[in-house]
Amino acid sequence: MKTTDTLRSAVRAIEARTPVERDRAIDGLRALALLAVPTGHWLLGGFTLDADGALHNASPLTTFGALAPASWVLQMLGIFFLVGGYASVLSYRRAIGRGGSVGGWLRGRLVRLGRPVLGVTAVWAALLPLLYSMGVPEATLRTGATLVIQPLWFVGVYAAITALTPYCVRAAHRMGAWAAAPLLGAVAAVDFLRYGPFADAMPSWLSLLNLLPGWMFAYQLGVSWGERRLGRRAAWTLLFGGAALFAALLLFFHYPASMVGVPGQDRTNSHPPSLLVLALAAAQSGAAILLRDRIAGLLRRPALWAPVVVINLSAMTILCWHQTAMLSAAVPASFLGTVPGLTVAPVTPGWILVRLAWLPVFAVALLLIGRNTRRFEAPWTGVTRARRALAAVLATAFAAFALGLA
């Protein structure tokens, strides 16, 4: 009874502190996209156990290709970049309106992104030798480091795109919703070169040219939306045009069905993004814009709004630490041998059912980890320069280990 009363009091307090002008739909969409990241990684990321007791990454998509449509739902980075562009342009306008500079605004945004990344990588750098001394195999540590650093590429790309916000604003004013079209065209051109009749003559690094325009596409849509240059008519076009392009790429141009990388496949849609990713992002963005009012209406209910606020306040903690939560169960399990859903190869339908049962365990682990690590999202007041320098050195060492450079 006391727990219920405490939760109700917290819900009422959150509702009371929410400004009337708060755009609840944007926060709701961001929370949905955030939750899709750990859910996708926890569902589609399995392990195998070798003869030495070390963990190695495995994916159920290698065996169960029919699960690929699940990745269409769980791949919501398009929504994340859409609301990121929308929120950034509003924040940018407020900062400039108060007399601030572009540089000052950008520094504030980048510092908020960088603190949690520095925190998780520094902590893991300190953990690696400790875990090794406790008998965790080096191969397991490398698997874990790869998983931890895997989501962090997003932060670097997002930071680079955020730095381009003033240019996105200018493009939105000149071209409206069409400002994202050149980005779509650039990705289509690169895809034609790397997958078309001249593919054999193309260098392997060519795909990297899609990295910035591929993820900037939805961000630019968000900026145009925030600047009120993208309305419902354009949203319908995005929804149906994106869905049609998505279907055409799958049916006639033989793009991989999975939106995430599958071990053993020579083509991937997401690293870096292919045209299929942009088609999905367009359809998702159109749907999000069209459903905005309904989402806002639903989130007027305090019981639904409160968890959205909590998720948004812990955004970077969720992104940075959700793989650690899964590893906190998998690494100890590797010492026990074959544990269904954790150390058993994801090659049977039973694995999927057992992994679903593990999801609440991972969520509780993330909650417990987050209670201690969310401090990295707050300003590092009282932290000396020496400690910050040490954190940077540790983070660099961890990145080198995770990328196989050490």
Q: How far apart are CA 406 and CA 387, in angstroms?
A: 23
Q: Are 317 and 373 in contact (CB under 8 A)?
A: yes
When pLDDT is averaged across residues 180-185 and rounded to a whole number, the result is 98
- pLDDT value at 168 more than 90: yes
Strands 55-58 and 46-49: antiparallel
- Lowest-pLDDT choice from 142-156, 159-173, 284-298: 142-156
Q: What is the mean pLDDT of the chain?
A: 93
- pLDDT value at 13 more than 70: yes
Q: Are 345 and 46 in contact (CB under 8 A)?
A: yes
Closest Cα partner for 256 from 280, 287, 220? 280
- pLDDT value at 379 more than 90: no
Token couple for 197: 């009749």
Task: Write out pLDDT tens, residues 75-119.
Answer: 999 999 999 999 999 999 999 999 999 999 999 999 999 999 999
Closest Cα partner for 271 from 284, 261, 279? 261
pTM greater than the 0.85 cutoff: yes
Q: Are 249 and 279 in contact (CB under 8 A)?
A: yes
Given this model, what pLDDT does residue 252 score?
A: 95
Task: Write out pLDDT tens, residues 112-139.
Answer: 999 999 999 999 999 999 999 999 999 9
Task: Write out pLDDT tens, residues 265-305.
Answer: 778 898 889 999 999 999 999 999 999 999 999 999 999 99
Per residue, the 3-state secondary structure of the chain, as one string, reads CHHHHHHHHHHHHHHHHCCCCCCHHHHHHHHHHHHHHHHHHHHHCEEEECCCCCEEEECHHHCCHHHHHHHHHHCCHHHHHHHHHHHHHHHHHHHHHCCCCHHHHHHHHHHHHHHHHHHHHHHHHHHHHHHHHCCCCHHHHHHHHHHHHHHHHHHHHHHHHHHCHHHHHHHHHHHHHHHHHHHHHHHHHHHHHHHCCCHHHCCHHHHHHHHHHHHHHHHHHHHHHHCCCCCHHHHHHHHHHHHHHHHHHHHCCCCCCCCCCCCCCCCCCECCECHHHHHHHHHHHHHHHHCHHHHHHHCCCHHHHHHHHHHHHCHHHHHHHHHHHHHHHHHHHHCCCCCCCCCCCCCCHHHHHHHHHHHHHHHHHHHHHHHHHHHHHCCCCCCCHHHHHHHHHHHHHHHHHHCCCC
Token couple for 167: 């240019």
**Dihedral angle computed from the Cα positions of residues 340, 346, 349 and 350, in that order, rounded to the nearest 10 degrees:** 0
Task: Write out pLDDT tens, residues 23-33.
Answer: 999 999 999 99
Q: Quick one: pLDDT band at residue 230, thresholds 50, 70, 90? A: very high
Q: Quick one: pLDDT band at residue 1, thresholds 50, 70, 90? A: low
